[in-house]
Amino acid sequence: MTEYSNDFTDLNFDWAPARLTVDLSAIVSNWQAMRALSGSARTAAVVKADGYGLGIEDVGEALYAAGAADFFVAVPEEGATLRQFAPDARIFVLSGMWPGTEETFFENGLVPVLASEEQLAFFFAAIADYGDYPCALQVDTGFNRLGLTLEEAMRLAGDLSRPASFSPVLVLSHLACGDDAAASMNREQLERFRTVANAFEGVEASLSASAGILLGADYHFDLTRPGIALYGGDSAPGSSKMLKPVATAEARIIQIRHAKAGENVSYGATKSLQRDSRLAVVSAGYADGYLRAKSGTGVPLREAISTGGTGFLAGHRVPVLGRITMDMTIFDITDLPEGAVRAGDYVELFGNHIALDDAAAAGGTIGYELLTSLGLRYSRRYIQPD
């Protein structure tokens, strides 16, 4: 594997205040694992939100080189960026086509996912002069987020007066409870979607994102759409155990402090030390996506979850002390051997030793939010597949 640095901070990666290592070979491996689970269905890659915070350019290029031929993004600007790195792929834009965006679609060969009669009307007008152009249809089967109603979709399927240039290449829906295999709503949505898919005979169908893939072959149809699974996160409880960790976030120790029993730590003086302590002050905080809710004390979540975040340092987990601040977090390193740690060393915030979803759970959230909140202050290193 080869490595290279994409250095947003103009600092050497080895000394950057906060750094992020992204293993693109692990992303490819996770996509291949989801492809194997998808059986006879083709497997797309969801790279919206800047590749779940890890960089749509690098993530997209690696997956395209590995054989991914279908991608999903949220907005047309993401699709235009991805097009430079996936020249022959089908790129679906989940927010659809709106006035002012049509040229971005046409110039970059992006496929709009149309989710309402208003979007359909605008799309028909946009292609009146342009000619035949592919689109996808989103149908709501119970989520109540985006999509044509079942009645609207069935009416459209049987509408002989629709424009001849209207040629959808995909009909899709999204599961509300795919992360719960026992949820009865999964089967209800499946049956509704089958009705729609049968009505659009000859058009490919897609129902399952990462969690839906795990529900089995009934849910796979023609195309699956893994997202968080590609990045090593849980789409269903414990599902990441069959995947490889992708991202490792670390923060440099700025200073090691010695504090006496009875002294307080961080804003609000919410943590009073019960013993003489050594504290490692590191250069990452909630501005870097290290959520304030992960604080050791002084935030409402600690009333529900007794412990906050932990870091990994010198072979040990170390707890967060007091409130996490905008640019800094304080860890308790009292139990580490003297001399095992010094200023300039790095604390792992999540990665190989602290699972992404464990780190997220300490802040009362999920891996999706933690990844997409990382921000731009991390100096980044990408490990490329060979």
Q: Where in the chain is the domain with CATH 2.40.37.10?
A: 247-384
Catalytic residues: 48, 267
pLDDT in tens, 263-321: 999 999 999 999 999 999 999 999 999 999 999 999 999 888 888 999 999 999 999 99
Tokens of 270: 């919410």
Distance CA 101, CA 152 (A): 24
pLDDT in tens, 100-156: 999 999 999 999 999 999 999 999 999 988 888 999 999 999 999 999 999 999 999
Which single residue is written with the structure tokens 């990666």? 13
Q: In this structure, are strands 264-265 and 247-259 parallel, antiparallel, or unpaired?
A: unpaired
From the candidate CATH numbers 3.40.50.720, 3.30.830.10, 2.40.37.10, 3.40.228.10, the one assigned to the domain spanning 247-384: 2.40.37.10
Q: Where in the sequence of the chain do the CATH 3.20.20.10 domains occur? A: 39-225
Instruction: For 150-182, write each residue's pLDDT tens digit.
Output: 999 999 998 877 777 788 999 999 999 999 999
CA atoms within 13 A on the CB side of 166: 19
Query: Quick one: CATH architecture of 39-225?
Result: Alpha-Beta Barrel (3.20)
10 confidence band (pLDDT: 50, 70, 90):
very low
